[in-house]
Structure 1
């Protein structure tokens, strides 16, 4: 059910709204730097009202900390052993997987409710992969989303999963930028 036929290895990295990826400035000083680099303040799509803004700051990248401005998230970051790091702490791919799973599950619940389907026993699993092409610094993200709707007939479950994928803000943000596979369990 992937919405982009190219694999993550075939697509160059792009940023939000399909703009080419630009590495962050080396003097990163916290949230808002992307807006400063791109000239986009507020980051909203035309016609959308901002309902909530999350702010986070990283120090040390994969070997540091990430914190939200409200202090509710404050995590040590370490590159996983698979990337030659020490492991033992969270990493950006885990954070993305957790955030995407939660957001997609909320969209699934909304869409299923519109169809009169109970999602009490539903779950959403995500897999986020960091991929590299060749030996260059050409990295992209690949994502798989697996929807579990155990009491729902498979055809209806597939319909609900597709609608949730179309509705989910994370799915929409990634569309065309990241290879997202959508599966039913």
Structure 2
């Protein structure tokens, strides 16, 4: 199957983690100040939004109607060890009114579907928890 570009996010950052960032479409315009972990929060927000879409797609693929929308709390840890920085992540997923076994199946499928999950696989420690 041929590849198709769906979207390109474009941002401009000045000053790194102590500056500002703005998207080319004007939807995002943030001041990044220390010690606020804006980068980790932005990453968590983007990943959790994508993960919800992946859960919904996994449900559609299985012909399952979700009575309530999925919810994801993302926790992105910035760590340092041996002089090197690294990330750890937890995605705490709630699927109200879905049987636990089916909910677990959907979040495992979503973790295989979500581009953020694919990008981090094998690169950072990730825990996906059904809560």
The TM-score with structure 1 as length reference comes to 0.66
Cα 1:119–1:106 shift into 2, 3 Å: farther
**Helix, strand or coil at the partner of 2:9:** coil
- The answer to whether structure 1 residue 92 and structure 2 residue 39 are counterparts is yes
Which residue of the other structure, out of 123, 126, 131, is the alignment partner of 1:177? 123
Equivalent of residue 160 in structure 1, options 99, 106, 113:
106
- Verify: 1:103 aligned to 2:50, yes or no: yes
Runs of 4+ in 1 over 4 A off after TM superposition: none
Q: Does 1:125 align with 2:73?
A: yes
| In 1: Cα distance, 2:67 partner to 2:107 partner | 12
Instruction: Tell me the TM-score normalised to structure 2 length.
Output: 0.91
Indicate if the aligned counterparts of 1:157 and 1:184 stay in contact, CA closer than 8 A.
Answer: yes
In the aligned structure 1, how far is the partner of 2:88 from the partner of 2:22?
Answer: 25
Q: 1:68 maps to what in 2?
A: 23
- Structure 1: 5+ residue runs without aligned partners? 1-46, 81-86
RMSD: 1.4
Counterpart-to-counterpart distance in 1, 2:92 and 2:33:
26
The structure in which a higher percent of residues are strand is: 2
Aligned residue for 2:128, secondary structure, equals strand
Consecutive unaligned residues in structure 2, runs of 5 or more = none
Deviation of 1:100 after TM superposition, in Å, equals 0.6
Aligned length: 129
Greater length-normalized contact order (CA 8 Å, ≥ 6 residues apart): 1
Residue-by-residue CA offset, 1:99-131 (whole Å, 9 max, x unaligned): 011000111111122221315242111100101
**Relative to total residues, which structure has the larger helix share, 1 or 2?**
2
Which of residues 134, 145, 158 in structure 1 aligns to 2:91?
145
